[in-house]
Amino acid sequence: MLKINNLKAKVEEKSILNGFTLNINPGEVHAIMGPNGSGKSTLSNILSGKKGYDVSGEILFENSDLFSLETEERAHKGIFLAFQYPLEIPGVNTSVFLKTSLNAIRKARGEKELDALEFLKLVKQKSKDLKFDEEKLNRQLNVGFSGGEKKKNEILQMSILNPKLSILDETDSGLDIDALKIVANGVNSLRRKNNAFLIITHYQRLLDYIKPDHVHVLMNGKIIKSGGPELALELEKKGYESFS
C-alpha cells in the first residue's frame, strides 16, 4: 500500500530525514517510536503533502507517486493525518467543516455527496461511538477545545472519512486513560483487511490497546531497528540510548 524508499528531507540545509525506508501492506498496523526531534512529524507532514521540504527518494501509495499529488489529492486517495497539534480555525463551524471535508472527498471519488440529514445521522453516530461531546460540533473548529478534545476531534474526523492509510501523530499524548481507550477502540473498529495505520507514539501504553504488527525505532531521521510488539516493551525499559 505504502512504499517509502530512501526518503531524505531537508529544511533550510538542515537534514531531518536521512534515508528513511518503510513498507506498509494493507491490513497492517505499524508503530514508529523515536525521541523528540527525530523526524516523526516531518515524516507525517511529507506523507500528507506539506510544502517547504527539500525531498528526495521515493514514496509510492498504491503504486502512484505521492510527490506528484497535491495534499488534497492524497486525502481523496485515502491518506489521513491526525495532527500532533490540530489547528484552531476561528469562524469555521466544526460540523460544517466535517461535512465540507467528507463531501469534497466523496465528490473527488465520484461518490454521491451526503445531504444535511444523511450527514447529521452519520456524525451523530460517530460522535456517540467516540463519546465526542455533540455540543462541540456546533462550535468553531478546535477553538477553545481542550488538548484531549482536539485529539478526539481528529479521531472523529478519521472515522467519518474512513481513510485507507491513517497516520496518527502522537494522538495519545494529552489523552486521559478513558479517552485513550476510546480512541484505541475507534482505531480498532476501523481496522480492515484493506486499510492500514501508521501510529507515532512515545508510549508503549497505547500499543497495549492497539496491537501493532510492526514497531520501528526512528533516530536521526532513519529507522535503526524494527521488530514486533516486543520492541516497544524493550524500548520502554531501556530507553532510546541503548539503541544509539
Provide, rounded to whole angstroms, the least separation between the CB of residue 45 and another protein. Answer: 8
Nearest approach, Cβ of residue 170 and ligand ATP (Å): 6
In the list 71, 173, 185, 220, the residue contacting another protein (rule: CB under 8 A) is: 71
Among 4, 41, 46, 197, binds ligand ATP (CB under 6 A): 41
Q: Does residue 72 interact with another protein by CB under 8 A?
A: yes
The residue assigned the cell 529544511 is: 11
Single residue of 74, 126, 150, 151 touching another protein by CB under 8 A: 74
Distance CA 170, CA 68 (A): 27
Interaction residues for Mg ion, span 21-50 (CB under 5 A): 40-41
Residue pair 200/187 in contact by the 8 Å Cβ criterion: no
Question: Within positions 147 to 186, which residues make up the interface with another protein, using CB under 8 A?
Answer: 157, 161
Give the Cα separation of 159 and 163 in Å (integer): 8
- Does the footprint of ligand ATP cover residue 82 (CB under 6 A)? no
Instruction: Give me the least distance between CB of 153 and another protein, in Å please.
Output: 12
Nearer to ligand ATP, 27 or 174 (CB): 174
Rule CB under 5 A: choose which of 45, 84, 142, 159 binds Mg ion. Answer: 84
80, 166 Cβ separation under 8 angstroms: yes
Q: Binding another protein by CB under 8 A: which of 14, 51, 112, 193?
A: 51
Span from 67-75, 82-90, 97-105, 120-128 in contact with Mg ion (CB under 5 A): 82-90
d(CA 34, CA 200) in angstroms, rounded, equals: 8
- Residue among 30, 42, 74, 215 that touches ligand ATP (CB under 6 A): 42
- Cβ neighbours of residue 214 closer than 8 Å, sequence gap 6 or more: 28, 29, 30, 31, 226, 227, 228
Nearer to ligand ATP, 153 or 201 (CB): 201
Question: Contacts with ligand ATP: how many residues (CB under 6 A)?
Answer: 13
Which residues are at the interface with another protein (CB under 8 A)?
45, 48-51, 70-72, 74-76, 80-81, 83, 86-87, 89-93, 96-97, 100-102, 104-105, 108, 140, 157, 161
